[in-house]
Chains A and B, each alone.
Chain A
Amino acid sequence: MTIEIEPADLSNQLVQQVKEAIALKQPLRIIGNNSKRGLPHSGKSNHGVLQLAAHKGVVHYDPAELMLTVRAGTTIREINNQLAEQGQMLSSEPPEFDGKATIGGTLAANLSGAARPWAGSIRDHVLGVRLINGRGKHLQFGGQVMKNVAGFDVTRLQAGAMGTLGVMTEISIRTMPIPAASATVKISIAADDAIVAMNKLAATSAPLTAACWQQGRLSYRFSGAESSVQQAVATLQNTQPVELLAADAANELWQQISSKTENIVQQTQWRFSVKSTAALPTINAASNQWIIDWGGAQRWLDGEQSWSEMISLAKQMQGEVTKFNTDGSIENMPLSKPLESLRLRVKQAFDPNGIFNSNQWRYPAVSLSSEPNTDNSERL
């Protein structure tokens, strides 16, 4: 259950807090509703916390423009509810995390739901941000129009930056109509065959909006005009036995899949972002332990496997792996040396004093190919 917070514009206080932190050279940990169970602590005793949860509310919503501007602490659930009244949605289907996930945290972590390969990510739909940078300046990038190539795309740079480049205070995002109809079907199929089948179907004009395999069953969702959804289901039924899910069961299934990291308390999870067609590598565990989402492009494994084994799997699947620990912390696969140094320089360009989420990038003590160990968590 969530505590209701009244919408409020706290941007002046937030700018003030950042300026004080800069003056004191005090690192700040930016948190919304802590739904991602928090970022790792910096280990420095003087770090402060910058709370964004109360900085919330819709600033502007124009359904005919497909455009929404909200304060960063607004929850995804609040947004979904308001958009639904106008028959619209966030088409990247970001996880709600029991009503606690905020739009700011969602963009910072670039979290998307099951529709991601077809409908795009939140990064694809964000149009503009207001950002307090590490010089204490409250800046505006992008805006409320879909096409805007003036200046660098600082807005989308925030996606995945985990708050290391500044405090996002306001986000403008594109909304989309809720599809008129939707149907979810299940098919029994082995994992390797499912990967091929998902990709083949995605290469047709069928209105596919989700495809996920787990425990021997492949689920497809079709969304769009009633007639095209029916046609897509009928086409599948002509070739194989198909189970059609009731609407409630279907919604529950896709929400559960989209909120995969919500349940990491019980077990460590490895998230692989890979080439959608990559064959499953041989592992010690049975292939039924995989969850293969996003039409093959996002795959999950549970358990306490070693980093080196997981990196090897990621490379075999032409992708990368992220570890979600049970304490809520996240570890990323090490980057190549030049890329790591570029990322560091970008961080410094926004936050020269190292104020924001300074301990965010954590890397395991393993090396990437011939690169030396790049554990530099303290530098960032």
Chain B
Amino acid sequence: MNPLSDATPKLSQAELAKLLREFMPADSVLTEIESQRPFECDGLAIYTEIPLVVALPETVEQVQQIMKVCHQHHFPVVARGAGTGLSAGALPNKHGVLLSLSKLKNILEIDPLARTARLQPGVRNLAISEAAEPYGLYYAPDPSSQIACSIGGNIAENAGGVHCLKYGLTVHNVLALELITVEGDRLQIGGSRLDSSGPDLLAVLNGSEGLLGVVTEITVKLLPRPEQVEVIMAGFDNIDQAGNAVSEVIAAGIIPGGLEMMDKLAIQAAEAFAHAGYPVDAEALLLCEVDGTTAEIEHNIATISTLFKKLGATSIQVSENADDRARMWKGRKSAFPAIGRISADYYCMDGTIPRSKIAEVLQKIHALATRHELRVANVFHAGDGNLHPLILFDSSVAGEIERAEILGGEILVACVESGGSITGEHGVGLEKIAQMHDQFSTAELTQFHALKAAFDPLGQLNPGKGIPVLKNCQEYRSLSPLGSSHSHHVHNHG
């Protein structure tokens, strides 16, 4: 074991850039602060850092060579996709290389009969479904950032979306990855088959937040588009009723394509922003999408509408066409920018909880927010228990950002205590590294470090993220004291 901290890079920025420019065009290696600025943060802009060098490879071979140089000279490497992540997972390391994969953006192959797509990591999530559209196919995981986020970043975060309940997360929809190891070796993990012998390394790489290797090619599954899709929208007078309604739909044997909940503040903000026709007086709103054959949908809509009425829905609307559906979803999908309009800043959390605990956890969040004198709007992937509390704050008011961060941490603890997790789809990154201790014991964190060391013995890959350093565990220490440092600036979202 030879942790990175014992082998601090000896080369200067100029020397590193010179080595990289031996096999890359000069303008693909950025060393000036002005040109590096666009890479200083990801979607969680309260954390910023300027890297030593930004590298923009155009080929897989260049990625391999960059890794070889960095490995030889012990430079940290932080891989970056589209930079839409929400946990500062792509925050640069100031002593290392920020490896942007945005130029590797080709769709290499769509195989309509096998229903697969072979992609470079920089391909945008939505572009996959657009390319598959002529064959009646699509790529299922659809994070809200799908217009901008890249499939490589989706792998790093095991991205979800609003259709996970039925169609799974990224890990359920990926067949193969090409991985460049920290040493610069090129490995094929998985294949165009459904499963491979041996421990499931493919699963470990999904959601590994750039800590284990650099993904340069992805093979995903494509699904046939359902014959028909409709949305039922229902308002409720209280969160309890809405929570029960979610459980009752599932207990009735129906797995909806999507099942989303919003609380009053989120409903009102979304309605003001998107004019989706939401009931602004309701305490809770459910959006339930059903898909399948026309006959199946008619049957399921009737069942669900009856259930919602029985459980006290104050309003029910069923989409009649694609425009209706788009309008109903627009409010939900634009919930984050909508909150951005009613608050100078907001901070998005990503806990998961058992569905049955929804009312209990929301009450707790409300109580915590009151204590910190902050407002929280909640949007919730109710079907799969993934809660997105949006903490509203104003960074120009002294102390608010600190209170927002403390509240965020307390909300995550509440999620863990209810039997859930600190992150459902945004990842740990730098943001939730302290809360990892709330979810995992030292022995479990030690096991994570050991697994990381199997891929990255020197701890060069995205140091300081994902797994917290264990003070009393030298054996698997992978964080450099330098590598984990970061500045902490405030940026306005609104």
Chain A contact residues, CB within 8 Å of chain B:
62-67, 87, 110, 112, 116-117, 120-121, 123-124, 133, 135, 137, 139-141, 143-161, 164-165, 176-178, 180, 196, 199-200, 202-205, 207, 224-225, 227-228, 231, 273-277, 294, 297-298, 318-320, 322, 332-333, 335-336, 338-339, 342-343, 345-350, 361
Nearest A residue to B450 by beta-carbon distance?
A349
Nearest B residue to A343 by beta-carbon distance?
B198
Known contacts A176-B255, A228-B292; 5 additional CB pairs below 8 A are A123-B203, A147-B164, A149-B421, A153-B206, A319-B192
A150 adjacent to B428 (CB under 8 Å): yes
Could you tell me the distance in whole angstroms from the C-beta of A243 to the nearest C-beta in chain B?
23
Which residue of B112, B203, B227 contacts A203 across the interface (Cβ within 8 Å)?
B112
B299 adjacent to A225 (CB under 8 Å): yes
Could you tell me the distance in whole angstroms from the C-beta of A57 to the nearest C-beta in chain B?
20
B25 within 8 A of A: no
Q: How far is the CA of A157 from the CA of B206 in the complex (A)?
A: 11
B225 adjacent to A205 (CB under 8 Å): yes
- 10 CB < 8 A contacts A-B: A64-B248, A64-B251, A123-B203, A124-B171, A157-B199, A158-B199, A203-B113, A203-B224, A205-B227, A345-B454
Q: How far is the CA of A161 from the CA of B197 in the complex (A)?
A: 8
Q: How far is the CA of A160 from the CA of B199 in the complex (A)?
A: 5
Given A63-B251, A342-B455, answer yes or no on A146-B165 (Cβ-Cβ < 8 Å): yes
Nearest A residue to B436 by beta-carbon distance?
A150
B436 adjacent to A151 (CB under 8 Å): yes
B406 within 8 A of A: no
A110 adjacent to B200 (CB under 8 Å): yes
Q: How far is the CA of A160 from the CA of B195 in the complex (A)?
A: 9
A152 adjacent to B195 (CB under 8 Å): no
Q: List chain A residues, Cβ under 8 A from B425.
A: 147, 149
Q: How far is the CA of A96 from the CA of B158 in the complex (A)?
A: 31
Nearest B residue to A225 by beta-carbon distance?
B296
B200 adjacent to A123 (CB under 8 Å): yes
Which residue, A227, A322, A332, has most C-beta atoms of chain B within 10 A?
A227
Q: List chain B residues, Cβ under 8 A from A140.
A: 441, 444
Could you tell me the distance in whole angstroms from the C-beta of B137 to the nearest C-beta in chain A?
7
Q: How far is the CA of A276 from the CA of B68 in the complex (A)?
A: 36
Kindly supply a per-residue 1/0 record for chain B positions 158-198, scoring 1 wherever the CB is within 8 Å of any chain A CB and 0 otherwise. Answer: 10100011001101100000000100010111011111111
B424 adjacent to A110 (CB under 8 Å): no
B201 within 8 A of A: yes
Chain B contact residues, CB within 8 Å of chain A:
111-115, 135-137, 157-158, 160, 164-165, 168-169, 171-172, 181, 185, 187-189, 191-201, 203-204, 206-208, 211-212, 224-227, 247-248, 250-251, 253-255, 292-293, 295-296, 299-300, 352-356, 381, 384-386, 419-428, 432, 436, 439-441, 443-448, 450-455, 466-467
B196 adjacent to A160 (CB under 8 Å): yes
Q: List chain A residues, Cβ under 8 A from B353.
A: 145
Which residue, A112, A151, A202, has most C-beta atoms of chain B within 10 A?
A151
Could you tell me the distance in whole angstroms from the C-beta of A307 to the nearest C-beta in chain B?
14
B208 adjacent to A152 (CB under 8 Å): yes
Q: How far is the CA of A108 from the CA of B172 in the complex (A)?
A: 18
Could you tell me the distance in whole angstroms from the C-beta of A282 to the nearest C-beta in chain B?
20
B194 adjacent to A121 (CB under 8 Å): yes
Given A176-B255, A319-B191, answer yes or no on A154-B196 (Cβ-Cβ < 8 Å): no
Nearest A residue to B435 by beta-carbon distance?
A150
Could you tell me the distance in whole angstroms from the C-beta of A308 to the nearest C-beta in chain B?
18
A117 adjacent to B255 (CB under 8 Å): no
A164 adjacent to B199 (CB under 8 Å): yes
Q: List chain B residues, Cβ under 8 A from A224.
A: 292, 296
Could you tell me the distance in whole angstroms from the C-beta of B238 to the nearest C-beta in chain A?
19
Which residue of B193, B212, B381, B467 contacts A151 across the interface (Cβ within 8 Å)?
B467
Given A64-B355, A319-B191, answer yes or no on A332-B250 (Cβ-Cβ < 8 Å): no
Q: How far is the CA of A332 from the CA of B454 in the complex (A)?
A: 22
Q: List chain B residues, Cβ under 8 A from A116.
A: 194
Q: How far is the CA of A121 from the CA of B354 in the complex (A)?
A: 23
Lowest 7 A-B CB distances belong to which pairs? A227-B295, A156-B203, A147-B424, A177-B253, A161-B199, A345-B454, A225-B296
A343 adjacent to B169 (CB under 8 Å): no
Which residue of A160, A227, A228 contacts B197 across the interface (Cβ within 8 Å)?
A160
A339 adjacent to B187 (CB under 8 Å): yes
Q: How far is the CA of A180 from the CA of B292 in the complex (A)?
A: 14
Nearest A residue to B422 by beta-carbon distance?
A150
Given A144-B419, A196-B113, A297-B193, answer yes or no on A152-B207 (Cβ-Cβ < 8 Å): yes
